[in-house]
Amino acid sequence: MPWRNAPDIDFDEQPQYRWPSWRVDYKLEDLFGELHEKFNTVPIFIQDPDAFHHDVAELAGDAPSKEVFLAKLQERKSQRLEELRNFEENLTALIITGFNRLLDPQMKAFVHLCNSASFDSLIAFWATFLGPNKYGTEPSLGLSILCTSMASFR
């Protein structure tokens, strides 16, 4: 997701991230470099269609050329991503300081989302708000794995 950079791993201090890169003609650093970018990212909309249309219409109305318009769109994209980062930081600060009503599983999923900023952690976080289905079965979107991996926060 665009609000986080790929992890910065020191393979000497974090040996759990070592992998047999030499066997496939890569370097260790390619794990969260080229490979991460190509195989572990997914495009996700920054804005809903109405908000994006509003930005495009506003900028197109003020731009004297296509080049200026595209440059302004790039600036607006950067602005919107910065707004998302600020929102996430402010929300995190509120939750950490106790201004929340999250249950323990929701808090663990939120911390995991803040640490990884991955699509699956976003889904896992929202899944913590789901109740059982009509048969009484709880959602199973990898939450047991998430709770196990978050045991250190207990």
Instruction: Output the pLDDT for position 21.
Output: 96
Look at residue 151 in the predicted model and tell me its pLDDT.
42
Q: What is the C-alpha to C-alpha distance for residues 120 and 43, in angstroms, rounded to an integer? A: 13
For the chain, give the mean pLDDT.
82
Instruction: Choose between 138 and 60: higher pLDDT.
Output: 60
The two three-digit tokens of residue 95, written as one number: 């939750």
Residues sharing a CB contact under 8 Å with residue 120, sequence separation 6 or more, in sequence order: 142
**What is the rounded radius of gyration, in angstroms, for the C-alpha atoms of the chain?**
20
Question: Tokens in use for 31?
Answer: 């794990």
Q: What is the pTM of this model?
A: 0.58
User: For residue range 83-96, what is the model confidence (pLDDT) as tens digits?
Assistant: 888 877 887 787 77
Distances (CA, A) of 54 to 73, 74, 87: 12, 15, 21
Q: Of 39-43, 101-105, 140-144, where does mean pLDDT reach its minimum?
A: 140-144
2 pLDDT band, cuts 50/70/90, is low
Residue 5: its pLDDT value, please? 78
Cα of 138 vs its chain's centroid, Å: 24
